[in-house]
Amino acid sequence: AIDPQFHENREQVDEHNGHAVWGPVDEPEELGIHGTHVAVDFDLCIADGACLEDCPVDVFEWVDTPGHPESEEKADPTKEAQCIDCMLCVDVCPVDAIDVDAG
């Protein structure tokens, strides 16, 4: 599962589509965590798609990640600022790749 303390245990190494990327990143095999309020561990995501289908405010968009061992696309939290903290995505992800800081 995604480390809920990622912002303490990892360093921000990049930005992507307006959100932070938390390393380590070593493309294409290792992609890190995308987002902060809505964080997706790209190295765990298997492109199940439940988060995209269920998010009521369309926070996620597919991004292509060719060459990644788990899946060749990922759910990118491009609109994390719109999140209403419903926690549906956290509940439906089969590999617990998503953390939402509803704090």
Q: Which residues bind ligand F3S (CB under 6 A)?
A: 40, 45-51, 75, 92-93, 95, 97-98
Side-chain-facing half-sphere of 17: CA atoms under 13 Å = 15
The listed partner (Zn ion, ligand SF4, ligand F3S, none) that binds 2, CB under 5 to 8 Å by sort, is: none
Write the DSSP symbol of residue 19. Answer: E
Q: Terminal CA-to-CA distance of the chain, rounded, Å?
A: 19
Q: Tokens at residue 101, please?
A: 């800081």
Query: Distance between CA 63 and CA 45 in Å, rounded?
Result: 12
- Which residue, 20 or 89, is less far from ligand SF4 as judged by CB? 89
Near ligand SF4 in 37-76, by CB under 6 A: 38, 54-57, 59
Chain residues that interact with Zn ion, rule: CB under 5 A: 16-17, 34, 76
Nearer to ligand SF4, 13 or 87 (CB): 87
